[in-house]
Amino acid sequence: LEHDDVWFQDGRIINPTSLYGLRNPDSRIDARGLIVAPGLVDVQLNGAFGYDFSYNKSDIVACLNAVSRGVLLQGCTSFCPTTVSSKPETYHSVLPHLGRRPGSLINGAESLGAHVEGPFMNPKKKGAHEVSCLRAAPNGLADFDECYGLENLRNYVTYMTVAPEVDGVLDVIPRLISECQIGISQGHSVATNEIARRAHISGARMITHLFNAMTDFHHRDPGIVGLLSASSGSECLKLDANGVPLPERASAESAAIFYGLICDGIHVHPNAVKIAYNSHPAGAVLVSDAMGAMGLPDGHYKLGNMPVVVGPMTDVEGCPRAALIQGTGTLAGSIVTLIECVRNFRAFTQCSIVEAVEAATLHPAQMLGIERKKGTLDFGADADIIFLSDDLYVQKVFVRGELATPDTVGIE
């Protein structure tokens, strides 16, 4: 915003024209030349501040509260708590606590519903996921029911990452979308471009952490990365009464594709970030993919059941801090904040401030279909607002119109 006002009441941004001449605002907040932007939206957050959504089963409520309040102060006003590949008992234990929960000073950042990353993924691209948890779906939807519980998917999950080439997965995508009302993302996969294209036509509109844990781009078969050529159309796949996709149409194939990017400078080279953005700028979604060590010093942590060591990567120029599966060179999520990703994204791509901020606000909201509520300052949206300096550091955070500080959210 420039030389303009944002009016909000009862936690929502309102159109003030009906109030002109009738009343003055109850209070005024002067941004004093700072950038006024929507609150950040992180659609892939495994944990932070010593907590992990897959590991802390016995104290999952404390885990959600600590992470929600902490990331709120970093400018992230809503997020999808993310679980890594786990055994069924873990999903049945934690998912009922990771559903949608409104943001507030008490709750912290809003939970937009869980992102279940795995376990229907390819062991060849397991990344930091426990290979013993990975599985196929030869029995179709019944295997997803046995793993998560379909009621858990319907009530608490917003989207799911799957590898479409895994046995039984591709055929069940339309039913997961229609019967469970969740989004589907492709990731941890060796899918060919043809299989990825078929999954996209079937309704998989997202790509989980582009370039990471997927087949490398090749000029003869670009794999999942090749989906960046899809246009940003808005029509969705049409299903029959049984949830079966109707014959393929050009509109389904060209429907919007969104892709996550971990812009910590480690997961994806800056030039690769720039190539992706230049190829499809409207689909870029910045994610932290942060794990339990985010906000904490070097040491030993957990990602699910996997032991993780956080410290400097001595074999990499500059020795950046990173999280690695103990005893390996495998990255185990990140320790970056989402606003750091925004700053890095702008530096890597040379995009404008508006474009950088939209990649962590408007685009993830569009990806989840909640762009009228989140990621915008339009009338009717939630009054989740941040003030940023010109160099994109968070100065103030408002959740549902209330100022969030360590005192008001109860963080020492």
Catalytic residue, candidates 42, 52, 264, 289: 289
Q: How many Cβ atoms sit within 10 Å of the Cβ of residue 281?
A: 15
| CB contact at 8 A, 98 and 114 | yes
Question: How far is the C-alpha of 388 from the C-alpha of 32, rounded, in Å?
Answer: 11
Q: Which two tokens stand for residue 28?
A: 């005024």
Q: How many Cβ atoms sit within 10 Å of the Cβ of residue 33?
A: 9
Polymer length of the chain:
412
> CA–CA distance from 267 to each of 2, 13, 393 (Å)?
35, 36, 22
User: Of 287, 268, 311, 252, which Cα lies nearest the Cα of 364?
Assistant: 287
Phi-psi region of 220 (alpha: psi -120 to 50; beta: other; left: phi over 0): alpha
Question: How far is the C-alpha of 283 from the C-alpha of 206, rounded, in Å?
Answer: 9
The DSSP letter of residue 197 is: H
In the chain, how many H helices and how many E strands?
12, 21
Question: How far is the C-alpha of 40 from the C-alpha of 305, rounded, in Å?
Answer: 29
Quick one: CA torsion of 21, 26, 32, 38, rounded to 10 degrees? -100
Q: Is 289 a catalytic residue?
A: yes
Question: How far is the C-alpha of 120 from the C-alpha of 58, rounded, in Å?
Answer: 25
Active site (catalytic) residues:
289
